[in-house]
Amino acid sequence: MAAVTILETKGLTKVFGGIHANTDIDFQLPEGQVMALIGPNGAGKSTFVGMLCGRIPATAGQVIFKGEDISALPAHKRIAMGIAYTFQITSVFANLPARENVALAARRKHRLDEAGILAKVDAVLARIGLADRADQIAGDLSYGHQRLLEIAMGLVQEPELFILDEPTQGLADSEITEFVDLINGLKGSTTILLIEHNMDVVMRTAQAITVLNFGEILASGSPSEIKANAEVQAAYLGTVHAED
């Protein structure tokens, strides 16, 4: 039985002042899969994700979610359809406790009484490893813990598609290990698009990888196929390994 495609783009293009950030991207993400999106800095990853989320309008092309063309929908309507995402820069409410940050996200999605909301919140905080910091003001958390809090805010919405933009940036090694375990635990229940520079994390979590370079798809395939791809080695992986 063929996998169902939950997210698809057709000819997705973004032009800024005559410069093509993305050009004619045809992309498919099967439901229930963890896919990593990788590529060198300036490859167009953030612009592409911005168009998927509705934060950046496309110049041309389509974004299709669960068979519906959502190209014209604003970000908040895409969230309501089941897409959650985190940014490279944390977007927590710095003056509120961690628990209330997650509760605000939960109330957007779930029609439950307050006891039901808080039960969901506490379960997600425990799963993400922040239960002992639930009452701490978010702005006082370390950068790494703020990143985890943002992931909790996405998870509590029980998204059908979870887009994570550089989620391990700023995390300690122990937190990265916990993040990998979390993502692997979500396989099959939530579709995940992971934009990530840490190739160890990519290889330990992703079932498929898409490589962007100069705003276009350079290659797509399994982790082993991408690792063995000479063009990917030349454009990206060789540089990554040289920096390690």
- pLDDT tens, residue by residue, 220-234: 999 999 999 999 988
Contact of 47 with 39, CB cutoff 8 Å: no
* The pLDDT value given to residue 91: 78
- If you average pLDDT over every residue of the chain, what do you get? 91
Task: Please give the average per-residue pLDDT across 126-136, as a whole number.
Answer: 94
Give the model's confidence band at 1: pLDDT under 50 very low, under 70 low, under 90 confident, else very high. low
Structural domain spans, the chain: 88-158
Task: Please give the average per-residue pLDDT across 156-176, as a whole number.
Answer: 91
Backbone angles phi, psi at 102, to 5 degrees: -70, -35
Question: Which pTM was predicted?
Answer: 0.90
Region at 214 (left for phi over 0; alpha for psi -120 to 50; beta for the rest) = left
Residues shown for the chain = 244
Contact of 188 with 212, CB cutoff 8 Å: no
Task: Please give the average per-residue pLDDT across 14-34, as a whole number.
Answer: 95
pLDDT tens across 64-73, in order?
999 999 999 9
Which residue from 211, 163, 164 is spatially nearest to 44, judged by alpha carbons?
Answer: 211
pLDDT tens across 47-88, in order?
999 999 999 999 999 999 999 999 999 998 998 899 999 865
Q: Is 219 helix (H, G, I), strand (E, B) or coil?
A: strand
* The pLDDT value given to residue 109: 85
Give the model's confidence band at 244: pLDDT under 50 very low, under 70 low, under 90 confident, else very high. very low
Give the model's confidence band at 239: pLDDT under 50 very low, under 70 low, under 90 confident, else very high. low
For residue 210, what is the DSSP state?
E
pLDDT at residue 242 tops 60: no
pLDDT tens across 181-224, in order?
999 988 888 999 999 999 999 999 999 999 999 999 999 999 99
